[in-house]
């Protein structure tokens, strides 16, 4: 029988407070819901509905914060600690996602993506890391990256470049904070079916994605939340510096995706076809 006990030498405590940036958004809220089943959660978001979203969770607070503003971010973090105690799990789910062709991507767009997707992550992880090291506690740092951080896509100059930097940041943190029992990983979703994606992807774009994804569908926010929760567990304490792609096989897709999908559809058949074959 395999024991569920962690080795004594690796059993530093992870404080049970979770901070989720972008917590009022579709992915951030799904993650907060999942992690909030047995932890206290703080949602930090620029949206004016963050307190309302937090009120829908059993044990959560919501704080409005401009993540691009260092003073606002610092204030929000300190308020979370004041109200809920030490933060052990930090999930950076906030993201700027404007899509522009390279020649139309101006500096303001590029810098906004970097400010929200990378610089805010650096600041919130550094704040929590300083406190965890001082307290002698372990921690779980998780960023919601994207397949765009590992694979170029049309119109993703600012977004994809910032997500690539975010993936590297998590590797850097894993190296330097690993000796303190703090893990750092990225979850990289492919296309996810949210209100945002439904509003911003045309029917042609959705069809193009589905032709490229071996599972032939968009992901669900809950599937991203499940992967994030896995990396936040005490038992995931030996996983660090990794990027977990939650993408329906998008990153592995190459030639022949639609051929494979068509072959699978033929082999599955319809009930009528199955009866005919029999």
Domains along the chain with CATH numbers: 11-253 (3.40.50.720)
Note the pLDDT of residue 186.
98
* Residue 41 near residue 57 (C-beta atoms within 8 A): yes
Note the pLDDT of residue 63.
98
- Rounded CA separation 150/155 (Å): 14
- Rounded CA separation 182/129 (Å): 8
Q: What is the 3-state secondary structure (H, E, C) of 48-67?
A: CCHHHHHHCCCCEEEEECCC
41 strand-pairing partners: 18, 60
**DSSP states of 140-171:** EEEEE--GGGTS--TTBHHHHHHHHHHHHHHH
CA dihedral (177, 178, 183, 186) positive or negative? positive
Annotated catalytic residue, options 77, 159, 209, 250 = 159
Note the pLDDT of residue 3.
44
**Other residues' Cβ atoms within 10 Å of the Cβ of residue 153:** 12
CA dihedral (239, 244, 246, 250) positive or negative? negative
Q: Hey, what are 241's tokens? A: 């510096």
- Stated pTM of the model: 0.88
Give how far the C-alpha of residue 145 lies from the chain's centroid of Cα atoms, to the nearest Å. Answer: 6
Residues in the chain: 278
Q: What residue has token string 């995931």? A: 236
Q: Is 250 a catalytic residue?
A: no
pLDDT by residue for the chain (278 residues), tens only, comes to 344 455 544 668 999 999 999 999 999 999 999 999 999 999 999 988 999 999 999 999 999 999 999 999 999 999 999 999 999 999 999 998 788 999 999 999 999 999 999 999 999 999 999 999 999 999 999 999 999 999 998 889 999 999 999 999 999 999 999 999 999 999 999 999 988 788 777 888 888 888 889 999 999 999 999 999 999 999 999 999 999 999 999 999 866 667 667 777 777 765 444 333 33
């Amino acid at each position: 029988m395999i024991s569920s006990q962690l080795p004594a030498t690796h059993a530093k405590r992870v404080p049970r407070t979770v901070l989720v940036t972008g917590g009022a958004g579709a992915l951030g809220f799904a993650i907060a819901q999942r992690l909030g089943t047995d932890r206290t959660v703080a949602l930090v978001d620029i949206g004016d509905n963050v307190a309302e979203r937090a009120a829908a969770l059993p044990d959560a607070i919501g704080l409005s914060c401009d993540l691009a503003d260092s003073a606002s971010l610092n204030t929000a973090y300190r308020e979370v600690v004041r109200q809920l105690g030490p933060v052990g799990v930090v999930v950076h789910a906030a993201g700027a996602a404007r899509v522009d062709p390279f020649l139309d991507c101006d500096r303001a767009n590029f810098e906004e993506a970097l400010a929200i997707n990378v610089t805010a992550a650096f600041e919130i992880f550094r704040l929590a890391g300083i406190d965890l090291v001082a307290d002698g506690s372990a921690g779980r740092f998780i960023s919601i990256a994207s397949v765009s951080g590992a694979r170029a896509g049309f119109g993703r100059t600012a977004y994809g470049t910032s997500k690539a930097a975010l993936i590297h940041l998590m590797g850097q943190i894993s190296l330097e904070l690993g000796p303190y029992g703090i893990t750092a990983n990225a979850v990289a979703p492919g296309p996810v079916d949210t209100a945002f994606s439904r509003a911003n992807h045309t029917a042609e774009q959705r069809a193009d994605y589905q032709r490229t994804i071996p599972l032939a569908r968009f992901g669900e926010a809950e599937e991203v939340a499940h992967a994030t929760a896995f990396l936040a567990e005490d038992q995931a304490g030996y996983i660090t510096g990794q990027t977990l792609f939650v993408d329906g096989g998008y990153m592995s897709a190459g030639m022949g995706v639609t051929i494979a999908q068509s072959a699978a559809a033929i082999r599955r058949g319809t009930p009528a076809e199955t009866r005919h074959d029999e």
